[in-house]
Amino acid sequence: MRLFGGTHPSRGVTILNAVSESLFHDSTIYFALISGLLFSLVLQPRGWSAFFSSRLANVISPYVVMTLLFTWYGLDANGRLSAFEGSGADYLAAVSENLWTGGAFYHLWYLPILAILYLATPLIAWSLARARRSWLVWLVMLAPFAASRTFPDFSWATPVYFLGAYAVGMYVGMRYESSLETFRRYWKELSTTALVASAALVAAYLFEYDTLGPVSVRETLFYVQKLALAAVVLVSFHAYEQRLPQWLHTLATFAFSIYFLHAIVLIMLEEAQIRFALGPTAARWMFATGFVFLIVSIAIAVVVSALMRRALGKRSRMLLGT
């Protein structure tokens, strides 16, 4: 929504904002799903020691580094970039809080959630490996229908919500070929499900409808939409795996460092536009320039990541995750 200058929740949203939210909100579900897939396909065969040590070095370590950086220079109460004002003790206290909450920058909230997913991985893997315990995994995968993610404040339901997608990824990864065959067989049904869920989300935003008792209908629809879309994309990419463009491989290689860096670059571009290009009227042009800024921010993140990797080698993983 920042791309279009909007805020959440959605009172008074336009059709454009409704479509934007419906397409892009909760895209972190893809991140959780991919993490589960990678565990089953790549990380699990290496053993638990290698799994946790790699997550510590490649995920938690760069998260700590980025938290230190963005606490020192990040968004102030007005949403503008500024340096930290306060004593060294105040800075350390802010860092400590931000590490627990992911509050150093608006996109880091997911990293504490991801740490919980990693801690839950052995239990899910144990349940998947035992037919008599597989019902536990199904409970986890279906939990997001009853435990809705809360926004912007997080509760116990938030990690449960993303744990569902993570468990789906692990389940699919352990049965990768048979899962792909199932997705191919039901490709039309999955595509239809994604389209219907997307249309329902747009309507829910336009009519400002959300909760049904304790459950967020929107978050439930997002869960269905994102999982259906992921299945469709997975099958499509697998069919053209040998012909995918190089830029997609590049994005995949630097995905985690792009995640860490793109947000601050995007805001720098926005602030430069407001200050030097269009002045106070710049907000009117955010939509026109939003996608351009997004692409430029990703490109800059890739360049910085590549330079860091060239300079530091494998040690760059502990700083940027790549």
Residue 115 in contact with residue 60, Cβ under 8 Å? yes
Q: 92 falls in which pLDDT band (50, 70, 90)?
A: very high
For residue range 112-162, what is the model confidence (pLDDT) as tens digits? 999 999 999 999 999 998 867 778 889 999 999 988 876 655 678 889 999
Domain boundaries, the chain: 2-243, 245-322
What is the pLDDT, as a whole number, of residue 224? Answer: 96
Q: How far apart are the first and last CA of the chain?
A: 27
Residue 179 C-alpha from the chain's centroid: 23
Output the DSSP codes for 7-25.
-SS-TT--HHHHHHHHHHT
What single-letter amino acid sits at 105? F
Residue 18 in contact with residue 206, Cβ under 8 Å? yes
Tokens of 243: 């012909």
For residue range 273-313, what is the model confidence (pLDDT) as tens digits? 777 655 555 555 555 667 788 888 999 999 999 999 999 88
For residue range 189-243, what is the model confidence (pLDDT) as tens digits? 999 999 999 999 999 999 888 888 778 899 999 999 999 999 999 998 887 777 8
DSSP, res 279: G
Residue 39 in contact with residue 51, Cβ under 8 Å? yes
pTM more than 0.95: no
For residue range 34-66, what is the model confidence (pLDDT) as tens digits? 999 999 999 999 999 999 999 999 999 999 999
For residue range 3-33, what is the model confidence (pLDDT) as tens digits? 444 444 444 448 888 888 888 888 899 999 9
Classified as helix, coil or strand, 75 is: strand
Classified as helix, coil or strand, 215 is: strand
How far apart, in Å, are the Cα atoms of 2 and each of 5, 106, 160, 270?
5, 11, 26, 10
> Which one, of 244, 162, 73, 266, lies nearest residue 170 by Cα?
162
